[in-house]
Amino acid sequence: MASFHVWLEVLSYTKALFEAITLGDDVREQYQKHRNERATIAEAQRVSQEVSTFSEDEVQAILARLKACRDRFIKEGSGPARKQCLCNVFTDVIEGNGGKLPQIDDWKNIYEQLNCPRASTP
């Protein structure tokens, strides 16, 4: 199982990237906001205790992918590549979870709002 701190990073970056895509918000500001948000902290605690599908290394890999998306957003600005980058992370998570999007935070809603291609049913 992955640690609380890594999950907190993953959840914070996921929300920040989603808001950058959909609302044009600044990724860094949103990341800081979510990293200190009670709901995000509580969900990171829950997930670190209940989600055993992903090892520490696997969640670290998800985090690295999210940070790569962040870096791409900063370099490229807006565009469809932003959405595709986050959708690709979700696709990898789905594949690593036996074909289903795990019930983590608001991921299902984010996945659906981004209209990510459906490789499997979330």
Report DSSP letters for 34-92, one per residue: HHT-HHHHHHHHHHHHH--SS-HHHHHHHHHHHHHHHHHHHHH-SSHHHHHHHHHHHHH
Block means of pLDDT (10 residues each) for the chain, length 122 residues?
96 96 91 97 96 93 96 79 94 93 96 84 44
What is the pLDDT at residue 67? 96
Looking at the domain assignment, is residue 92 inside a domain? yes
Looking at the domain assignment, is residue 41 inside a domain? yes
Looking at the domain assignment, is residue 49 inside a domain? yes
Range of the domain at 17: 4-113
- If one counts the domains in the chain, the total is 1
* Main-chain phi, psi angles of 45, to 5 degrees: -65, -45
Looking at the domain assignment, is residue 119 inside a domain? no
Looking at the domain assignment, is residue 120 inside a domain? no
Looking at the domain assignment, is residue 118 inside a domain? no
What is the pLDDT at residue 74? 79
What's the whole-model pTM score?
Answer: 0.92
What is the pLDDT at residue 102? 95
